[in-house]
A and B are shown apart, each in its own frame.
Chain A
Amino acid sequence: MVKWQVALIWAIATPLILLAISPLLDGLARKIRARLHSRIGPPLIQGYLDLAKLAGKTDVTPTVNTLTNFLPFLALASAVTAGTLLPISDFAPLSFAGDLLVVLYLLGLSTVAIVLGGAASGNPYSFLGAARELQLLLFVEPVMAFALFVLAVKAGTFRLSEIVIWHAQNGYTLSTVLAGISALSAMLPYFGKLPFDLSEAEQELMGGILLEQGGWRLALYRWTFFVKWFIVTWLFCEAFLPVIAPFPLSILLLLVKVFIVFFIAAVLETLLARLRLDHARAFFIHIAFFVLFALAFALIGS
């Protein structure tokens, strides 16, 4: 049992750290893309610069009311809350406050907040983006959930730190490897990046759900995306690439793992073109069968 002081420090520090370092991922992704295009690209801190610029702009928008002012905070807060519940190797001070399903639902809540923000603007393009995002949710969320359920069923618990410990001690099996591959493919739509950036789709929908957002509101939504990239990668790394290490070393290891996985995702983003919604659906239905086989293997013990 973790001491309450440690939990308190974790509860205050983790959101701040998450908010502070997650825009770095944006700069990183853009740098990688620029290098693959043989450009020099923006500096690594471009994410911070963008946020600061947006926060200084006047917000010009068709709907101003309490709900639309509240939704960006809901999106960001639920994403960050999901982040505080995650473990670093076996160290999870807030694991008594939420488990795997809470994390998944909080990530879903953050998506739904963005969708509602897009739908509230009354813009047809935003609405199209919102509808696409919801449909994508229907296909992506089960795949991600089932992939993590494979581990949960093997470990016999929803608690993330125990899942990590179990996975580190027992090593890979057929089912966990299959689940890991499925989860990796389901991570891309969580990023909201190519080839699954259907909800924004700048070339078709002019930004989709973010079209009518501006100023600090857009800054918060973008920040939510950055935080979600970090959290989903973190969750994937801890669940499927577990390494038990003492505390300070584990943070370093986590950062290295997150960097590597995010690097792969960023390269994929540059190399692939956008999928149409029916292609994305077909892709995830196949992945879903894959992951259900993984679950069946997990149940018969391999």
Chain B
Amino acid sequence: MEAEILMKAILLAKILLVLGAVVTALTAERRTLTRVLGTFFTILPAIVLVYAGVGLIVWGATPSLVLTEISAIKTRLTLQADVLSGLFLLLIGILSASAALHSYAYLEHPHYRQENLIRYYPMLLLFILAMVGVVVAHDMLTFLVFWELMTLASYVLVAYERSKPENLRAALKYFILTHLGALCLLVAAVILWVQGGSFEFGTVFATFEKLAKTRPMLLHGVFALLFIGFATKAALFPFGDWLPDAHPAAPSPISAMLSGVMIKLGIYGFLRFFVWLLPTAAFPFAYDWSYVFGIFGVVSAVLGGAAATVTYDAKVLLAYSSIAQSGFITLGIGAGMFLFRQDLQLANIAMAGAFFHIVGDAFVKALLFLNAGSVLYATGSRRFADLGGLLESMPETAGTAFIGSMAIAGFPPLTAFVSKWLILQSLLFSKSIPVTFSGVGMLLASIFSILYSVKFFASCFLIKPMRAEKLEVPSTMRLAQLLLTLLIILVGLFPGVVLRWSSWIIADASMFAGAEQQLAGVWQWAWVQPLTGAFSPLIVIGMFVVVSIFAIISVGTERQPRKAPIWVGGELIKQEQLGGHPQGVPLREELLQRAYPKAPVPRWQPPAWFTKLLDPEAWMYRPVISGGEWISDLLRRAHTGVPHLYIAWQIIGAAIIALIVWLMFRT
């Protein structure tokens, strides 16, 4: 009964999204009408999706619907949602609603006004539709179709502002790199089809079991292809090289969607194929692949954090930070896959941390991208050099950005703290030397995240003399930010609720079944008490309030502060020379040893290949492009329009075919 309602809700959302795409495409010439309709047709399905997501998690139903059967490939195209899909449906719903609210006013900025809305709202709705399709697909074919649709729709959205050549370049890079990833997924799907005979997930499950027993190397190959495909979407280093280019190019609400949910769908792929669809016989493979997850997770977390610390562009900073957070999540999943055999409870804690980070980071990163968009809307720039001193000009945006930055820095009692704390516990107490040392990398990455979040907030809103003019953004944009801020505070104050939901989700995977009873007392509504630690956000916030009240009483703040000009020791300095340089943390110079001319002391320089390795564009993206150009050049040369040449080609081709036929039938 419940299952039917939920399936109907998901279908209703999909129909509404398609309808909205058609309607907004038809009305695209009338901007105001399209904006209203587009917002309406995003928020309505979003509410339905939130309902479906919560229902799926709370009722634990697995509604299923067979679309059609293709007997030629022995596959029934199926939609099926379970608790794991429920979580992602919930995130898609919430984030698409806030992105739609934010883009209502954002698209009327003079910057974007000359762009046609037909490339925005229909594509946004198709993008949401595709993401919903990805998480409820239950066979490889549907999954890949929606996966491609998601990439295509988001490609158009990334290239929305097409008057700038760098945006088109970023979009093309995104297109090519994600398609390389999708190609890997396609090859993996075909291999599984050849081995198993069907594209359905049930058959994939059986195929994994068969391959684990008979052909383990082939299974490792399939896993490698799946890993590369999903890591490209999840933006792990070095596969995520498209992300720092694509995010600044996209309109800010789209960046929020890309970073908040879309790269989390790469994580969904990891969870679905490496945990959920794994039969017992293939569990040792999960153990082997946990090392890969851990290595890529730590490297992405540390490098993403370090790169975010030295950027001078608000949206690039957030993009690198997305890579880092993706690394944290992957590390948590890897820890869970490593530990499930020796210590189920600790493995469950790691997975709960990963799930909490998926939820928390989705909200926080979406909020920060919306903040960056508001700043861009108000000032027309996203470079830190042009920003600063906006705190009093846009107080509400600044307030939400403060909460968001503190949350992503991981300060209690906000969201990212709980997840980092849980993952770090499982890493440190794993009794395995490499895993514990990945905890060292994780702590380093956490400190980088403190640095770049402080840098983001301070460079946007502080560090310069406060601007006098009022620049606050329109109310719909503020509403979207406020919604996400409230969610961050709620999730941060009551982590037990989300953690209990994630424990239900985790218990659904056969790998982690049975740990729910062991962890029964751990996730209370207001405090979290795993064996190895304890945290209660309410008590922390209570202490904050008590101490603040005491301090207010003891120092007494009834005297108004007196305003005075900035004091620089009596030097004559112009107003615009005041304030700090936007580099915030001058780490780049420090790291590259350029700050001062140095005495000839022998210093360790990283080898050239290592420096090259850190630039995936040079060794991954450009070779693909030049290879493609080379091949198309060859093809072009074959078609010169000379008839003799064509006849020659035909004769050679006929000869080759004849040779093949002869070889086949010669017996």
Contact = CB atoms under 8 A, between A and B. Distances in A.
Contacts of B464: 122
A58 B324 CA distance: 45
Interface stretch (A133-141, A164-172, A184-192): A133-141
A125 B398 contact: no
Interface in A244-258: none
Contact of A131 (B424, B457, B579, B586): B586
B540 A98 contact: yes
How many chain A residues sit at the interface, stated as a range, is 35 or more
Interface in A109-123: 109, 112, 115-116, 119-123
B443 A146 contact: yes
Interface in B447-503: 447-448, 450-451, 454-455, 457-458, 462-466
A137 B545 CA distance: 26
B389 interface: yes
Interface in A211-253: 211-212, 215-217, 219-220, 223
Contacts of A122: 389, 462-466, 566, 578-579
A263 B352 CA distance: 44
Interface in A11-35: 11-12, 15-16, 19
Given A80-B543, A141-B447, A142-B443, A158 B391 contact: no
B451 A153 contact: no
Interface stretch (B215-223, B237-245, B332-340, B550-558): B550-558
Interface string A253-280: 0000000000000000000000001100
A98 B547 contact: no
B574 interface: no
Interface string A145-158: 11001001100111
Highest count of chain A CB atoms <10 Å: which of B542, B543, B545, B550? B543
9 contacts: A62-B567, A64-B561, A67-B402, A77-B547, A102-B421, A128-B580, A220-B551, A278-B590, A296-B433
A65 B393 CA distance: 11
A121 B462 CA distance: 8
A97 B535 contact: yes
A108 interface: yes
A77 B544 contact: yes
B533 interface: yes
Contacts of B555: 55, 216, 219-220
Tell me the interface secondary structure of chain A in the complex: helix
A5 interface: no
Contacts of A99: 533-535
A134 B454 contact: yes
Interface string B384-399: 0000010110010011
Contacts of A60: 561-564
Given A98-B534, A99-B534, A122-B464, 18 more contacts: A19-B550, A55-B555, A61-B561, A80-B547, A101-B533, A102-B535, A105-B410, A105-B412, A108-B411, A108-B450, A116-B458, A120-B391, A134-B454, A135-B585, A137-B451, A142-B444, A149-B443, A216-B556
A145 B443 contact: yes
A206 interface: yes
A73 B536 contact: no
A159 B532 contact: yes
A223 to B, nearest CB: 8
Highest count of chain B CB atoms <10 Å: which of A19, A64, A158? A158
Highest count of chain A CB atoms <10 Å: which of B406, B529, B539, B551? B551
B257 interface: no
Contacts of A130: 458, 580
B417 interface: yes
Contact of B448 (A109, A138, A220): A138
Contacts, number: 246
Contact of B550 (A15, A212, A292): A15
B374 to A, nearest CB: 17
A78 interface: yes
Contact of A58 (B546, B559, B585): B559
Contact of B539 (A59, A74, A94): A94
Contact of A59 (B436, B458, B534, B559): B559
B421 A142 contact: no
B543 A77 contact: yes
Interface in B578-597: 578-581, 584-587, 590, 595-596
A63 B451 CA distance: 23
Interface in A39-96: 55, 58-67, 69, 72-74, 76-78, 80-81, 84, 94-96
B451 A138 contact: yes
Nearest to A12: B546
A267 to B, nearest CB: 30
Interface in B584-625: 584-587, 590, 595-596
B400 to A, nearest CB: 12
B165 interface: no
Nearest to A11: B543
Nearest to A96: B534
Highest count of chain A CB atoms <10 Å: which of B425, B539, B555, B557? B555
B564 A61 contact: yes
Given A59-B559, A112-B454, A295-B436, A73 B579 contact: no
Nearest to B433: A299
Contact of B548 (A77, A127, A216, A217): A77
A205 B411 CA distance: 29
Contact of B457 (A77, A116, A128, A149): A116
B454 A135 contact: no
B590 A124 contact: no
A292 B440 contact: yes
Nearest to A129: B580
B641 interface: no
Nearest to B309: A138
B568 interface: yes
